Every structure is written in structure tokens, then in C-alpha cells.
Amino acid sequence: MDLGINGKVAIVTGSGQGIGRDTALALAEEGVKVCINDVNDELGNETAEDIRKAGGTAIYVHGDIGAEADIKELFARTAKELGTVDILVNNAAISPKVPFEEIPAEQFEKVLKVNLLGAFLCSQQAFYQMKEKRWGRIISLSSMAGRFGANKAGVHYSSSKAGIIGMTLSLAKKMGPYNITVNCVAPGRINTALTKVLPQEVQDQIRSQIPLGRIGEPSEVASVITFLASEKAGYVSGACVDILGGYIA
């Protein structure tokens, strides 16, 4: 199926690994020119190189989504080398595993700065470019923790991901008149580096709570994001799509 986004330009933050990487690869398969962003240069360059080896177009731009100057540079470099952005995927996030009563204020602030403020600032930069073209797609990563509260994740992480949902609803109203759709996805347990570090007994416990009987794959989240970025999803805006394998908290 032609998703109608061949030749569009996308920025995927935190796309050196996991869901971000698979999303960048999926968009590139649709003919999208992708800017890979990460703080890990080795992983970020590897993703960009894999896209180029497959015949796609990609660049890598180092940048901390918790730093406003880095965000501005990310969008400036993308516009210069690929063109102004059409698709933004706010994926970059941090998730320190610290009990509620031990979370220091500065760590809470850091999580909000990367996960929520960073997504807001990226969306702001994207809006400047998208509104001139009267076309755009913004998809942000929320989480099961943002929908139902933290379990294994920290309170600061779940708070930031709940904020993503509220921001998505507000931006969908603001950007709709410019033909820009704004959505988010809320993955449950996905087979990423963060999940793999959990003890096997914890992974087994998590798996037992999922009706489909397995942990999801990053590619399964990426396919939903790619659809939301497409022309086929032109009337979907202000939505939060749960990707939970049937799990309801």
C-alpha cells in the first residue's frame, strides 16, 4: 500500500536504537528522507548508514533533546541537508529507575526536560516549518505508564508521559487549521534494551499479564507510527493509540 509520503522529510529523535531506530527504518522504506538524532554517535550513525545501504536517504545529527540549542541546530541542519521537516517523531526519552521516595528534584526536572519539554520544543520548531507548507505530522511517544500510572517505571517518567498525552490533545487543536495532525502512541512492554536488562523472573511476570502472551517488538510500534505519519491517516488527530497487546491496567 502506498502511504503517500515518498519524498517527505522526517526527524526521529532518539533513533539510534529501539523504537526510534525501527521507526526511522520503516519511514525510509516508504521513501521518506530521515534525519537520525541521538546522543550516542555510534548507534545514530549506524542507523543512518543502514538506511543508506538499503537505498534510502538519511543523515545523522548528534543532539541532546534536553538542550534547546541542540534542538534548534537539529532542525536547521535537517532543513539545510534534507529540506524542511514534514514528519516529526518525538521518541527521545530517559527513564531512571528510582523509587519514588528517593527521586531527587534535579532528576525529576531532567526527566521532564528531556521527555516533555524536549518534545514540546521539537514540536514548536516543526510547527514553524510545517505551517508554511500546510502539511505536517507530529507523533509523540507516550507510554502505558502515562496512561495508567507507573509500575516498574519511575513516577517522574510516568508524569512526563502523561504530559505527552495532554500536549498532544492541545497541539492537535492548535495545528489542525494548518492541516497538521498531532497524535501519540502509548506502547506497553516492548522488547528494547530497557526491557532486556530486567531480570528474567520480572520479564516472565510481565508476560503473564499480557493477553497476547508476549512482549511486543519495536517494529510493531514503528508500523503504527508510520501509518499515523501517512496520508492514509489524514483525519486522525488528537489520538493516543495504545499498543499494549491487550493489556489493560
The per-residue pLDDT for 102 is 86
Domain ranges of the chain: 9-190+218-243
Architecture of domain 9-190+218-243: 3-Layer(aba) Sandwich (3.40)
Contact 34, 27 (CB under 8 A): yes
Distance between CA atoms of residues 79 and 11, nearest Å: 10
Say how many CA atoms lie within 13 Å of 51 toward its Cβ. Answer: 28
Least-confidence region, from 12-21, 25-34, 174-183, 188-197: 188-197
- Three cell numbers at 6? 515518498
The amino acid occupying position 224 is V
pLDDT at 249 > cutoff 80: no
Beta-sheet strand order (sheet of 136-141): 58-62, 33-38, 9-12, 87-90, 136-141, 180-187, 240-243
Distance between CA atoms of residues 27 and 6, nearest Å: 9
Handedness of CA 55, 33, 94, 248 (dihedral sign): negative
Q: Greater confidence, 22 or 97?
A: 22
178 is catalytic: no
Mean pLDDT of the 84-107 span: 92
- Three cell numbers at 156? 517522574
Distance between CA atoms of residues 154 and 35, nearest Å: 30
Quick: pLDDT tens for 149-184: 876 678 999 999 999 999 999 999 999 999 999 999
Which of these is catalytic: 60, 128, 157, 178? 157
